[in-house]
Amino acid sequence: MELTEKYQPVIDIANQGGVQNLQVAEQDGVLYITGTTDNGDVKQQMWDKYGEIDPDYRSGDLVLNVEVEGGGYEEYTVAPGDSLSKIGHHWGKNWKEIWDLNRDTIGDNYNLIHPGQVLKIPK
């Protein structure tokens, strides 16, 4: 219950933004927030609020897995020598936008992307 209270502002954004199939579950010291939305801005607002609560994303006590449906992103296959900054520059996006959308595959270290990895690029 403590984590639900800590991250209530993130949950509120999900509710207000109409995230569908929203599930919030606390297990083993981690809060899991899952659902779907057709609005990538709602997901970004949730990540922004999470960043305000845990600025360095080091707590490791939240898994935010809200999928954007309906074409909210394009896919890009990482090439040798790519970085999130380089990819972001090519697509006209900030590297953090790309990282936020791909945390489920990249993880907490945004420097660890690999050739052949498929990333989502927000539209």
Domain containing residue 39: CATH number = 3.30.70.1770
Range of the domain at 32: 1-70
Domain boundary among 70, 90, 106: 70
Render pLDDT for 8-42 as a digit per residue (tens, 0 to 9). 999 999 999 889 999 999 999 999 999 998 877 88
- Domain shared by 7 and 62, yes or no: yes
Q: Tally Cβ neighbours within 10 Å of residue 10.
A: 23
Tally of domains within the chain = 2
Average pLDDT for the chain: 89
Domain boundary among 70, 89, 115: 70
Q: Is the pTM of this model over 0.85?
A: no
Cα 86 to Cα 111: distance, rounded to the nearest angstrom: 12
- Domain shared by 64 and 79, yes or no: no
